[in-house]
Amino acid sequence: MENKKLGLVILSISALAGIVAFGFMNVLGSQTTAMQCYPTNECQRIESLLGLSHIAVGLISFIGALGIYLLFFSTGEEAILKRLEEEKRMKIEENKFELILKAMDENEKNVLKAIKEQDGITQSTLKFRADLSKAKVSQILTDFEKKNLVKRESKGKTYAVHLTENF
């Protein structure tokens, strides 16, 4: 929200500066007309001020665009912090998962990875995905349940397997 307030303030300042700059340019233009500018020192001074005023208008336009960006398009600090916290949480979970996998044999790794890829996978699908027998999958899942890594829910004649809250 602070970016929106800052954007509104910058946009307001830019609008006021623009009004002042265009007023100044209008005064310079009327002086040029009144003097019927010939190549004199006074006319050259007015022309150089008019050139500087064009640069000022460019800067004011840039500041106004910055204000519009901050007001409408800038992501707030809260959103950035929330996204960073979510990324940190996901990385911690991934590291935790990798550490758990290091203590397992290949069959257990394949089963646990398949469960993580498809939460709620059935035991029959898990058997094909891990390329193991029905008995081996059942044995691995029983061990995982004892370690509180997965939970099984009855789904017809088979079970749906979910990772527990530990992940």
The residue assigned the tokens 């064009």 is 54
Please report which confidence band the pLDDT of residue 1 belongs to, taking 50, 70 and 90 as the band edges: low
For residue range 109-148, list pLDDT tens digits in order: 999 999 999 989 998 899 899 889 999 999 999 999 998 9
- Cβ atoms of residues 149 and 112 within 8 Å: yes
Q: What is the pLDDT of residue 85?
A: 93
pTM of the model: 0.52
Q: What is the pLDDT of residues 10-38, one digit of tens each?
A: 888 888 888 888 888 788 777 767 777 66
Q: Residue 152 in contact with residue 161, Cβ under 8 Å? A: yes
User: Pick from 160, 93, 89: which is nearest to 150 by CA?
Assistant: 160
CB contact at 8 A, 52 and 45 = no
- Predicted local distance difference test score (pLDDT) of residue 37: 65
For residues 1 and 76, the answer to whether their CB atoms sit within 8 Å is: yes
137, 130 in Cβ contact below 8 A? yes
| From 27-31, 49-53, 73-77, the region with the lowest mean pLDDT | 73-77
pLDDT value of position 40 = 67
Q: How confident is the model at residue 162 (pLDDT cuts 50, 70, 90)?
A: very high
Of 117, 118, 108, 114, residue with least CA distance to 145? 108
> Whose structure tokens read 């007015």?
46
Average pLDDT, the chain: 84
The mean pLDDT value for 75-80 works out to 74
Name the residue ranges covered by the structural domains of the chain: 2-74, 77-103, 105-167
For 40, the token pair is: 């004199």
CATH code for the domain defined by 105-167: 1.10.10.10
Q: What is the pLDDT of residue 108?
A: 92
Q: Which two tokens stand for residue 50?
A: 């008019």
Query: How far apart, in whole angstroms, are the C-alpha atoms of residue 12 and residue 78?
Result: 24
